[in-house]
């Protein structure tokens, strides 16, 4: 008995040490699932550790009693193959559709012919409203964002800058879609039930990714936990979407009433194409809901991390400010002004030629992609460029976050924030590096709102850097929270001071 106890003790000691030394520990029956669950709260950094220990592609096995195998990859060659070269073999898949069921049949949750049709409509809608959104960006920054930040200068109070950015992107995309403002950038910081419902739904969808479908489906059936909040959020979103669609139709019936917003464009598409008439308001709801979520959450996250990196690197901020000063001094009224106009908001078009500014944004997107993980499903058997064999039905997890942190891809300084890596010896932007930047996806499914998102981010950042001096509150730590979108766990607390007294 003593020998048996010693053997058991040594075996448990060996197993404990093995678990501590391994990034992924294989468990009998459960396979790799416990490792995934144990690291769900830090899944992005865990995927970096997986890549560093096992290579840029790794098969993560699920329990034998329920298929849950994932192929993890952060190899840019595989990304290019999946997003472009063999695009037709890697749709979102049925698993994705079930997890993101709240999005309905919109472009984010569709494949094949339905996706092609929806994508074509989206492209037309975005192109016809592009100038409107650009004008709206400057108007929102000038009339809402800058005055709000100015109010915090006067009271010298700390503020959560990430919260302000999410309110800015929500207000802006809401106006662009519905033609009316939810006024979330008001000084009293109102909680909009649509935004809160979207947050609840996204939180539940994230945990659907890191638990087995049998479990979250059981929770959904029982209406407990995050699934209960998801169902309540769904009801709220449907109710509000029906309300806004009804109001928009009433607006369009008014004589001489002209509308320039995305929802009006989709209503027009519905009138022109009879095949959408049978769907009623569901077509309209599904068409704009994904854009509302992406425009608010992903753009807000990109804006927040970009500004955080600027605050952490004063030299970068100084170089951006130098470029902005050059633009400002070239403005038509500057020479006639004895006292420079403050605050000043730049035209979005004037910011497009700023090389360092754009490089700094791309570097922030490299290290902190708003959507750190993408998901695909293989239709047919295939071999990836790195030699990995893919079976039909395999779920592939593509980590954009981990790709940015591999020396074999970005060099030994991969963890550093260096906008200079995007600029060549002639001061030109290195366009070839864009082949390794998948923050907006790539290929046929590249983010259709990419240019709009960049405009929203640049217009806000330029105005804030030029008019204010922002400082992080001492002792406040900024780090990602477990989510599908790379938001900040405890926000970004800052002090707002005037750039020029």
pLDDT of residue 20: 46
CATH number at residue 445: 1.10.630.10
Give a yes or no: residue 12 inside a domain.
Answer: no
CA distance 195 to 206: 17
Annotated ligand binding at 362? The verdict is no
Task: Confirm if 257 and 250 have CB atoms less than 8 A apart.
Answer: no
Partner residues linked to 470 by β-bridges = 496
Q: Is 493 helix (H, G, I), strand (E, B) or coil?
A: strand
pLDDT of residue 264: 92
CA 22 to chain centre: 30
Task: Confirm if 174 and 292 have CB atoms less than 8 A apart.
Answer: yes
CA distance 231 to 201: 8
Q: How many CA atoms, within 13 angstroms, populate the side-chain half-sphere of residue 169?
A: 29
CA distance 286 to 346: 34
Query: Which residues lie closer than 8 Å to 380 by C-beta, 6 or more apart?
Result: 89, 392
Please give the structure tokens belonging to residue 157: 């109070």
Give a yes or no: residue 40 inside a domain.
Answer: no
- Helix H or strand E segment including 238: helix 225-253
> Which of 249, 256, 262 shows the shortest CA–CA distance to 291?
262
Give a yes or no: residue 240 inside a domain.
Answer: yes
CA angle 46, 198, 485 (to 5 degrees): 25
pTM: 0.91
Cis peptide preceding 371, ω within 30 of 0: no
Please give the structure tokens belonging to residue 64: 């034998």
Give a yes or no: residue 457 inside a domain.
Answer: yes
DSSP 378-400: -SS-EE-TTS-EE-TT-EEEEEH
The segments of the chain whose pLDDT lies below 50 read 3-21
Query: Which residues lie closer than 8 Å to 424 by C-beta, 6 or more apart?
Result: 430
Neighbours of 290 (CB within 10 A): 21
Give a yes or no: residue 7 inside a domain.
Answer: no
Work out how many domains the chain is built from and give that number.
Answer: 1
Please give the structure tokens belonging to residue 155: 């009271």
CA distance 447 to 455: 14
Give a yes or no: residue 452 inside a domain.
Answer: yes
pLDDT of residue 6: 47
DSSP 349-380: GGGTT-HHHHHHHHHHHHHS-SS-EEEEE-SS
pLDDT of residue 64: 61
Give a yes or no: residue 381 inside a domain.
Answer: no
pLDDT of residue 5: 47
Checking phi first, is residue 477 left (phi over 0); if not, alpha (psi -120 to 50) or beta?
beta
pLDDT of residue 234: 97
Neighbours of 167 (CB within 10 A): 25
Terminal alpha carbon distance of the chain: 81
CA distance 71 to 114: 27
pLDDT of residue 10: 39
> Which of 207, 198, 209 shows the shortest CA–CA distance to 225?
207
The owner of tokens 């769904």 is 234
> Which of 46, 50, 29 shows the shortest CA–CA distance to 38?
46
Give a yes or no: residue 385 inside a domain.
Answer: no
Task: Confirm if 128 and 176 have CB atoms less than 8 A apart.
Answer: no
- Inter-residue long-range contacts of 228-236, CB under 8 Å, 24+ positions, other chains counted: 229/200, 229/201, 229/203, 229/204, 230/102, 230/200, 230/201, 230/204, 230/205, 232/197, 232/200, 233/102, 233/196, 233/197, 233/198, 233/200, 233/201, 233/204, 234/102, 234/197, 234/201, 236/193, 236/194, 236/197
Domain containing residue 365: 116-371+407-498
CA distances 161 to 252, 307, 460, 464, 496, Å, are 37, 9, 12, 11, 9
Q: What is the CA radius of gyration of the chain?
A: 24
pLDDT of residue 62: 64
| Interval 371-396: pLDDT, tens | 999 999 999 999 999 999 999 999 89
């Amino acid at each position: 008995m003593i020998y048996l106890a010693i053997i058991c003790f040594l075996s448990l000691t060996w197993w404990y040490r093995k678990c501590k030394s391994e990034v992924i520990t294989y468990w009998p029956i459960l396979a790799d699932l416990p490792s995934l669950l144990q690291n769900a709260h830090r899944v992005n950094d865990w995927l970096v550790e997986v890549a560093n220990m096992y290579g840029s592609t790794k098969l993560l096995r699920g329990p034998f009693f329920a298929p849950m195998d994932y192929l993890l990859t952060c190899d840019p060659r595989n990304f290019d193959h999946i997003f472009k070269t063999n695009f037709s073999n890697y749709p979102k898949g049925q698993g994705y559709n079930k997890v993101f069921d709240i999005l309905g049949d919109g472009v984010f949750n569709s494949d094949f012919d339905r996706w092609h049709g929806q994508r074509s409509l989206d492209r037309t809608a975005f192109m016809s409203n592009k100038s409107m959104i650009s004008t709206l960006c400057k108007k929102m920054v000038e009339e809402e964002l800058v005055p709000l930040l100015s109010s915090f200068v006067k009271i010298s109070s700390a503020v959560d800058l990430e919260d302000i950015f999410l309110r800015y992107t929500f207000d802006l995309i809401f106006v662009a879609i519905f033609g009316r403002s939810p006024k979330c950038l008001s000084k009293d910081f109102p909680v909009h039930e649509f935004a809160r419902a979207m947050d609840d739904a996204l939180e539940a969808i994230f945990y659907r990714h890191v638990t087995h479908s049998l479990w979250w489906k059981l929770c959904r059936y029982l209406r407990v936990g995050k699934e209960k909040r998801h169902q309540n959020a769904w009801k709220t979103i449907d109710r509000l979407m029906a309300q806004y669609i009804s109001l928009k139709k009433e607006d369009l019936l008014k004589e001489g009433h002209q509308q320039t917003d995305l929802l009006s464009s989709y209503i027009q598409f519905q009138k022109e194409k009879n095949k959408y008439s049978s769907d009623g308001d569901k077509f309209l709801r599904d068409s704009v809901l994904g854009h509302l979520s992406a425009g608010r959450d992903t753009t807000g996250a990109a804006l927040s991390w970009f500004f955080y990196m600027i605050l952490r690197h004063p030299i970068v901020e100084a170089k951006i400010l130098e470029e902005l000063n050059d633009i400002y001094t070239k403005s038509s009224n500057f020479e006639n002004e004895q006292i420079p106009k403050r605050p000043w908001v730049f035209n979005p078009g004037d910011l497009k030629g700023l090389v360092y500014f754009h490089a700094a944004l791309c570097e922030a997107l490299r290290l902190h992609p708003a959507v750190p993980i993408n998901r695909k499903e293989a239709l047919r058997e295939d071999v990836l460029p790195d030699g990995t064999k893919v079976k039909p039905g395999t779920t592939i997890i593509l980590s954009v976050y981990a790709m940015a942190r591999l020396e074999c891809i970005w060099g030994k300084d991969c963890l550093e924030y260096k906008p200079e890596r995007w600029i060549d010896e002639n001061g030109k932007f290195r366009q070839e590096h864009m082949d390794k930047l998948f923050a907006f996806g790539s290929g046929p499914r590249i983010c259709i709102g990419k240019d709009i998102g960049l405009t929203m981010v640049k217009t806000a950042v330029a105005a804030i850097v030029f008019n204010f001096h922002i400082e992080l509150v001492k002792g406040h730590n900024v780090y990602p929270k477990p989510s599908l979108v790379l938001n900040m766990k405890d926000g970004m607390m800052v002090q707002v001071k005037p750039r020029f007294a």
